[in-house]
């Protein structure tokens, strides 16, 4: 009898994680689209760089480096996920269609972009609440970066001032891709 109970508890625990306790078990609508994807299912087994973005920020040129990372390491399993946010001094005021057009025309962004979300503490989308709980910090400005491993667990975070091709970012990405 105890053996059966032990097995049941193990199965229940495994089901609980699969049913929604995962950091990546989040549904998002693609930018300027009606298509909704679960990022945990869609990007399962990938190394993910999550970035809150803005089009009218001093860090906006980082789109260029993010796209280059996506191009250079994409075949190895890296995906960059952009989440526009208007939380910091209204630096992402446009509609999703305007944001999409700006990103494509100005920076030739092809990495996946998702719906405009709140990322600041107290009003953040649940995904950013989970990221903050794991990282110990909410995004402090536009272009805050969170690196998630193939196992769906947070590896580290980088401040908005840390550019995409910073040697620490590259080292962490390459290490995560090697696993």
Which residues does the annotation mark as catalytic? 57
Task: Report which of 122, 139, 177, 129 is spatially closest to residue 155, judged by C-alpha positions.
Answer: 177
Please report the sign of the dihedral spanned by the C-alpha atoms of residue 168, residue 100, residue 137, residue 131. negative
Q: Residue 25 and residue 21: Cα distance in Å, rounded? A: 7
Q: Residue 145 and residue 169: Cα distance in Å, rounded? A: 9
Report how far Cα 167 is from the mean position of its chain's Cα atoms. Answer: 20
Q: Residue 143 and residue 96: Cα distance in Å, rounded? A: 17
Please list, in sequence order, all residues whose beta carbon lies within 8 angstroms of the beta carbon of residue 50, skipping any fewer than 6 positions away.
81, 83, 131, 145, 146, 147, 148
Question: CA-CA distances (angstroms) from residue 53 to 59, 66, 116, 139?
Answer: 9, 11, 9, 10
């Amino acid at each position: 009898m105890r053996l059966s109970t032990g097995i049941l508890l193990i199965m229940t625990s495994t089901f609980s994680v699969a049913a929604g306790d995962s950091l990546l078990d989040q549904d998002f609508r693609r930018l300027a689209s009606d298509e909704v994807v679960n990022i945990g299912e869609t990007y399962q087994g990938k190394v993910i760089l999550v970035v809150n973005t803005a089009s009218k920020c001093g860090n906006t040129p980082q789109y260029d480096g993010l796209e280059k990372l996506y191009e250079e390491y994409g075949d190895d399993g890296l995906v960059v996920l952009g989440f526009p946010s208007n939380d910091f001094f209204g630096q992402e005021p446009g509609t999703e269609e305007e944001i999409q057009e700006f990103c494509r025309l100005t920076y030739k962004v092809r990495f996946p972009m998702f719906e405009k979300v709140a990322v600041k503490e107290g009003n953040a989308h649940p995904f950013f609440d989970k990221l903050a709980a794991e990282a110990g910090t909410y995004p402090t400005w536009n272009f805050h970066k969170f690196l998630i491993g193939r196992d769906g667990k947070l590896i580290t975070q980088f401040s908005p001032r840390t550019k995409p091709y910073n040697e620490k970012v590259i080292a962490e990405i390459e290490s995560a891709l090697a696993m």
